[in-house]
Structure 1
């Protein structure tokens, strides 16, 4: 279990970008985005209902592998991730797209756990944390400021 960041950081900045290695050793970018569907922010179980307050998705549109976050943050509006190429909208909580070129597809997810203190951990058995930021960022921190449209 690798500590990533906090739910507070994701909500304040609008997104958080990091790189993993998949089960084949290939690098893949992942975005953490706020999910506003969360009915319960805290839980007494040590893990939070805030599991839904942040979601992790592979950083690319299902239509043409366009990256959502290119180092400037994920473009979002009204709880939806916006594909910068064709404008398809993906629900930030479910990853589902019901419009545009990517209609009827769902973003591939990555398993995370949000603890009751808001700390986010990578818990996907098929992924190993490589570094914060994008694939080309050489492991150094990268700003993932939120872009509002």
Structure 2
């Protein structure tokens, strides 16, 4: 059986948004993954946090836009079904989001995909100082 890592309680995944976490893939690359609610069992789905049309993040740290069971790309407005990951409109029409395996047990969401190792809640840059600026300072004085 695959070892599972608890991510969050299902009740903490926003109905009209997303829950963001970072995991490492099997090639040691950090990947942002978002959880969204889905009406089909197990009630949530996990997708790589990138639109299939362009390298555009759905969730930039404050939740992805989700409306009527569709995840919305903030750049071109393509909409992806939260349960299947499929897109049938806009620039990303005909594509499907890459999924990440999760399970739900006793109200908790677990990462169960052998290709990923959970690292932390939030995005890749979640551990920075949060000011949005560069990570270093200039040595120039005024």
TM-score range, shorter chain: 0.7 to 0.9
Corresponding residue SS for 1:67 = coil
> If each structure's helix is expressed as a fraction of its own residues, which one has the higher value?
1
2:88 to 98, 116, 127: 98
Q: Any stretches of 5+ residues in structure 1 without a counterpart?
A: 39-49, 140-149
Establish whether residue 19 from structure 1 lines up as the match of residue 22 from structure 2: yes
TM-score, scaled relative to structure 2: 0.84
1:63 to 53, 78, 82: 53
Tell me, yes or no, if the aligned pair for 2:18 and 2:64 is still in contact at 8 Å. yes
Task: Provide, for residues 58-116 of structure 1, a one-character-per-residue CA deviation record: whole Å limited to 9, x for no partner.
Answer: 0010000100000110101111000000000000000000000000000000000001x
2:123 to 128, 134, 138: 134
Stretches (4+) displaced over 6 A? none
Report deviation, 1:13. 7.0
* Alignment-derived partner of residue 31 in structure 2: 28
Tell me, yes or no, if the aligned pair for 2:8 and 2:109 is still in contact at 8 Å. yes
Q: What is the Cα-based RMSD across aligned positions, in Å?
A: 1.6
Q: How many residues align?
A: 126
Tell me, yes or no, if the aligned pair for 2:15 and 2:37 is still in contact at 8 Å. no
TM-score, scaled relative to structure 1: 0.81
Corresponding residue SS for 2:22 = strand
In structure 2, relative to structure 1, the CA distance for the partners of 1:135 and 1:101 (3 Å cut) is same
Q: Any stretches of 5+ residues in structure 2 without a counterpart?
A: 129-142
Report deviation, 1:138. 1.8
